Amino acid sequence: MKKIILLSLLVLPYSLIAQSSASTQLPWSQRMAASMLTTNPDSIAYPRAKMARWEYEMGVLLRSYELLWYRTGDARYINYIQKNMDRFVNADGTIRTYDLDHFNIDYVTPGRSLLLLYQQTLPDKEKYRKAADLLRKQLAEQPRTKEGGFWHKKIYPNQMWLDGLYMAEPFYAEYTRLFSRDGKDFNDIINQFVWMEQHAHDPKTGLLYHGWDESREQKWADPKTGKSPNFWSRSIGWYVMALVDVLDYIPADQPRRGELVTILQRLMPAVVKYQDPKEGCWYQVTDRGGDKGNYMEASGTAMFVYGLAKGVRLGYLPASMMTYAKKGYAGMLKNFISTDEAGLIHLEKTVSVSGLGGNPYRSGSYDYYLSEPLRKDDLKGVGPFIMASVEMETAEEAGLGKGKTVGVDTYFNHEFRKGITGEQEPFHYTWEDRQHSGFWLWGNTFRDLGAKTVSVPTAPTAASLKGVDVYIIVDPDTPKETTKPNYVSQTDSKAISDWVKAGGVLVLMANDTSNCEHLHFNQLAAQFGLQFLPKNVNMVKGDQFEQGSVKISAGNPIFSHTKEVYIKELSPLSVKAPAKPVVSAGDNVIIAVANVGKGTVFAVGDPWLYNEYTDGRKIPARYENFNAGKDLATWLLKQAK
């Protein structure tokens, strides 16, 4: 194993340098992505591959880039995802190199990137929806076992493999969440996990066998149970990752959601029993650590670390399980990461493939699992390593917001549009809105910091604000946006003021004079020494972004990792005690804060942290709006006692 050294920023033309400081060592997640973007700048394919194809390994790596985009706001990640999808997806939604008639469940995995892109503000994005519909059509027609479990592939009849749960179910669940009005397919998705566990579970170890043959015709299948003969760590890892990812999309009120949580809670205590006590990694054949020829394997270890850390973060697993995740992650860095002469890091010791049956025939024996070759930077290891790294990096910061709730108002800002299912949906500065108009990325920052994000859809009262630590009011409607706007009343102002004095943290985000109801909003702001002035500054013409520049002075008490941001067409502030300016541009106060009673008020004349100006795709990288959003979220949570 080569000695691990610091990644040199100078030798990485595609390195994703953190905007806060070019000299700061990148986190492991970004270091690995930087290596992969350097070695695979245009498309994803192994060195000896004749051409890139539509297949699951690409989907796994692109999913890890999606998570990095959410965490960093660096557009190079989503641009890379789009570039790779556009290599395959035609204007009519057909997919180059894809053949539905193969009924290969592995082909469904890249569909998650299609759903990501369809939810963004992008031109001609209907092709991604059409391509996703094609993959959904495959699932609708996929051959099944008698009880309804998906065959792994048409060429593997009557067989369910653990791998298949990750290949299909996260896409199937997100597709259902987006496009199904009745959500009936969630029962089918949950059944896939339930049936797989029932047929693959070993009561002695608590682990799951790699595959199950309903017909019992395969040589590898036990003639009585149909189970394959061994436990393969990566296959169990696929199942674990599928569980924690699918739960992202199953509604909280879905009656059977708890079945998936229970399966995870049943499986992970069995998995951690087989973690190497010294190195923290897991072996290729899970339960035979120390046996001749067995070895610690990177992809299975990464998947278990990801599942453990995410399970703990989201409350599915007890906090004590984080000990195993930390030990496993440290073991990965020690045993699997190498650095080359150019300073690029690599992931070693990922088994290239392990399967059952086929030609040449794979018996599923212990010797078989040890016979498959290892590969450096195998995508099935790199993707999960990045995912695991993102979870571990998130865990380091999640304590700040633990137990705190951040609410965004949807009463004063109450706009609707036609949603993707044809029904009316709220939008504009909502946590759920992933298009340019939403706060999805900023909300994800709060969630990464450990806080809960909610909407406050009713007028502010002691009851409606109970349990809300940070309350954000954005751009109250005028009749131009809403036929009958809910103006801030004196009763509303008093309720909010009382809540702040009792310790609440209030965020007031106005807009320019033509897009925001200032009169009543200012009656609220006046209680804290603030007024949004009836003038507009930073009026930007076209793409002359420099006209929206706002410099942040060194030592700013809120924006400690930010030097320059972009805020256009905003209303400056008039400030008097107890309010104080925090960011100014010339004679204009851009941002101000006030300490009132036990609480805090933050005010700015624009909703500048919505996706359009934090996702990295529109404004030049010199403007650090995403970083500023994290700085602000951190500061707000610190004010919430």
pLDDT value of residue 51: 77
pLDDT tens string 519-529: 999 999 999 99
Region 41-59 average pLDDT: 82
Helix (H) or strand (E) holding 326: helix 322-335
Mean of the per-residue pLDDT values of the chain: 94
Residue 266 pLDDT more than 60?
Answer: yes
pLDDT value of residue 137: 98
Three-state SS across 193-255? HHHHHHHHECCCCCCECCEEECCCCCCCCCCCCCECCCCEHHHHHHHHHHHHHHCCCCCCCCC
User: In which band, very low, low, confident or very high, does the pLDDT at 44 lie, cut at 50, 70 and 90?
Assistant: confident
pLDDT tens string 215-253: 999 999 999 999 999 999 999 999 999 999 999 999 999
- Angle (nearest 5°) at CA 191 between 189 and 192: 70
Residue 450 pLDDT more than 90?
Answer: yes
pLDDT tens string 3-23: 333 333 333 334 343 333 332
pLDDT tens string 129-140: 999 999 999 999
Distance, in Å, from the CA atom of 352 to the CA atom of 374, rounded to the nearest integer, reads 5
Which CATH number does the domain 28-398 belong to among 1.50.10.10, 2.30.40.10, 2.30.30.40, 3.40.50.970?
A: 1.50.10.10
- Break the chain into its structural domains and give their ranges: 28-398, 405-639
Instruction: HSE, CB side, 13 Å, CA atoms: give it for residue 556.
Output: 22
pLDDT tens string 454-506: 999 999 999 999 999 999 999 999 999 999 999 999 999 999 999 999 999 99
pLDDT tens string 542-598: 999 999 999 999 999 999 999 999 999 999 999 999 999 999 999 999 999 999 999
Could you tell me if 485 and 478 are in contact, meaning their C-beta atoms sit under 8 angstroms apart? Answer: yes
CATH match of 405-639 with 3.40.50.620: no
Reference 200, options 234, 164, 225; nearest CA is 225
Strand partners, 604: 509, 591
pTM for this one?
A: 0.95
Residue 618 pLDDT more than 90?
Answer: yes
Tell me the residue type at 466. Answer: K
pLDDT value of residue 42: 80
Residue 82 pLDDT more than 60?
Answer: yes
- Other CB atoms within a 10 A radius of the CB of residue 455 amount to 14
Written as one string, the DSSP assignment of 143-210 is -B-TTSPBPSBTTBTTEEETHHHHHHHHHHHHHHHHH-SS-THHHHHHHHHHHHHHHHB-TTT--B-S
List the structure tokens of 45: 């394919």
Catalytic-role residue among 74, 106, 163, 185: 163
| % of the chain residues with pLDDT over 90 | 92
Does the annotation mark 163 as catalytic? Answer: yes
pLDDT value of residue 8: 35
Could you tell me if 134 and 93 are in contact, meaning their C-beta atoms sit under 8 angstroms apart? Answer: yes
| Residue 329 phi, psi (nearest 5) | -70, -45
Residue 336: DSSP 8-state: T
pLDDT tens string 332-345: 999 999 999 999 99
- Other CB atoms within a 10 A radius of the CB of residue 77 amount to 24
